[in-house]
A and B are shown apart, each in its own frame.
Chain A
Amino acid sequence: MDSVLLIYKGIYILVIFGISLLIATYSTYFERKIAAFIQDRVGPNRAGPMGLLQPLADAGKLFFKEEFIPAKANKMLFILGPGIAMLVAAMSSAVIPFGDTLILGETSFDLIAIDVNIGILYIFGVVSLGVYGLMIGGWASNNKFSLLGAIRAASQNISYELAMGLSLIAVLMLSGSLSLKVIAEQQTGFNWNIWYQPLGFLIFLICAFAETNRTPFDLPESEAELIGGYHTEYSSMKLGMYLFAEYINIFVVSAVMSTLYFGAYNFPFMENLRNAFDDPVLGNNVVTIIGVAVMFAKIFAFIFFFMWVRWTLPRFRYDQLMKLGWNILIPLAILNILLTGGGILLYEYFTNG
């Protein structure tokens, strides 16, 4: 790789990192605004115009709060917990294609940080590591409620990872590739995977809620019965890190869902728009820039959906959660794989013979 591309990749990774932090920051603001709208309140409106500076005020407050470590806590792991949660959350956006290629002069720049041919497995692996931050933090607090929260997080994540992986397999059977870039390229125009995989998408969506510990599956931190779950003993910015990691996870999972099922940066009539320009380079760049905007619009729609569900649905009970995961979602995911396989065979039978 020549040095121009190397520098470009470095800048691109920094930009994506900054964007995920920015989106996570403002997710807290929009979460409160949407909650206020749903509950017929005003929401934060004091800091700045329409309360837009509220996230900064929150961050300032968190930084200046007392940094408290319980006396009997395992100090090293107690500090390590939020760090792992944050690190793992920030790692996962590396393989997501946020856009097609930009052509500047002679070189074309891919709008993806690293294009590995195991892209989706990378995300899956990193997401499965996210639970360590919760478990280690909850255990190190040396508090029974925290421990219960940590154990719930572990069992919930492991149970829902299975159904998530099985629902992914159906998408991979259609695409024939593990690379997210290839999966995004296959869904040109309006040819999105959601039309072929409605059941798989539903399973993936439910599992995404469980993996990010969002209501109705926020049992690890259910404030009614476990006080705060794994972050009961946390204060100051360490608590902030946990909350922040959750919002980054929502952003990443929304981006993955848009890429896998909703055509990533593809939008209807993009080929017509591309051909409308006389200059192919200009046409490509215009389509790419609109594509990036479309991708982020899809991501924001999913983030809004996460918040909408959080403020309108009650929490599951723990046994209901396990029953849903093991007895309903996993058989449904296997059925989805069978249906997809049968569909592919039928399609090949009718098109070739």
Chain B
Amino acid sequence: MTESLFFFFASLTLLCAIMVVISKNPVYSVIFLILTFFTISAHYILLNAQFLAAVNIIVYAGAIMVLFLFVLMFINTGKNVEGTIKRNVLAKIAGTVAGGLLFTVVVAALKDVTLGHPDPATYNSQVGMVENLGKVLFTKYMLPFQLVAVLFLVSMVGAVMIGKRETGEQNF
């Protein structure tokens, strides 16, 4: 059951991810990206990490993608952007070669990777639950957790500084 569900969601994830890239309309791309986040959340649930699944939906599908859609709606009001960009043959060849090289590198890097197999006797299946995750974050990984918070604060302050209206400056 779990295995067939995994393959179902994995193929759905790949399908949605491919549709993000090949959709002509950017709004469709964003909608497929939202679907991709949903299928990734389904993977988290299969891994018994409910908290991660919920937070993935709240943060990515619920907030970040709304902002993506928000921006897209401003810059693209129904016009077909795709047709206005001219692409010559050389650019297409260069793109294909670069993409192929990247693919080769990824395949070569992942070829010899062996996945760690946790010992079923000692593995705690509840490790992804909110309580355990919180305890680990606030004890074992306290410093990285706090540093990430500082990083967020820095980026927030930076965004506010860029968006701030300076005195005497005419913005509108």
Interface residues of A (CB under 8 A from B): 72, 74, 77, 116-118, 121-122, 124-125, 128-129, 131-132, 135-136, 139, 142, 147, 150-151, 154-155, 157-158, 161, 178
Contacts and interface: CB of A to CB of B under 8 A. Distances in A.
Contacts, number: 70
B55 interface: yes
Given A118-B50, A121-B51, A151-B74, A129 B57 contact: yes
Nearest to B130: A178
15 contacts: A117-B50, A118-B53, A118-B130, A125-B57, A128-B57, A128-B61, A129-B62, A132-B66, A135-B70, A136-B31, A139-B27, A139-B73, A154-B66, A154-B70, A157-B66
A345 to B, nearest CB: 16
B74 to A, nearest CB: 7
B83 interface: no
B118 interface: no
A145 to B, nearest CB: 13
B17 interface: no
Nearest to B77: A147
A176 to B, nearest CB: 9
Chain A CB within 10 Å, residue with most, of B54, B63, B73:
B54
Contacts of B66: 128, 131-132, 135, 154, 157-158
B102 interface: no
Contacts of A124: 54, 58, 62
B168 interface: no
Contact of A125 (B31, B54, B70): B54
B62 A118 contact: no
B117 to A, nearest CB: 27
B51 A118 contact: yes
Size class of the B contact interface (CB-based, 8 Å) = 20 to 34
B51 A142 contact: no
Contacts of A121: 51, 54-55, 58
Interface of B: 27, 31, 34, 50-51, 53-55, 57-58, 61-63, 66-67, 69-70, 73-74, 77-78, 129-130
B77 A142 contact: yes
Nearest to B73: A139
A162 to B, nearest CB: 9
Given A129-B57, A135-B73, A151-B73, 19 more contacts: A74-B78, A77-B27, A116-B50, A117-B129, A118-B50, A118-B51, A124-B54, A124-B62, A125-B62, A128-B57, A128-B58, A135-B66, A139-B69, A147-B77, A154-B69, A154-B70, A157-B66, A158-B67, A178-B130
A217 B51 CA distance: 31
Q: Which 4 A-B pairs have the closest CB atoms?
A: A128-B62, A121-B54, A125-B57, A125-B58
Nearest to A157: B66
A139 B129 CA distance: 38
Contacts of B31: 77, 136
Contacts of A154: 66-67, 69-70
A159 to B, nearest CB: 11
A118 B55 CA distance: 10
Contact of A135 (B55, B61, B62, B69): B69
Nearest to A141: B78
A132 B54 CA distance: 17
B60 to A, nearest CB: 10
A132 B34 contact: yes
Nearest to A165: B58
Contacts of A135: 66, 69-70, 73
Contacts of B55: 121
Contacts of A178: 130
Contact of A117 (B61, B73, B78, B130): B130
B164 to A, nearest CB: 14
B37 to A, nearest CB: 10
A155 B74 CA distance: 13
A161 B73 contact: no
A142 B69 CA distance: 15
A118 B50 CA distance: 7
A129 B69 CA distance: 13
A178 B67 CA distance: 27
Contact of B73 (A116, A131, A147): A147
A161 B64 CA distance: 13
Contact of A155 (B53, B58, B70, B129): B70
A125 B65 CA distance: 13
A155 B78 CA distance: 21
A175 to B, nearest CB: 12
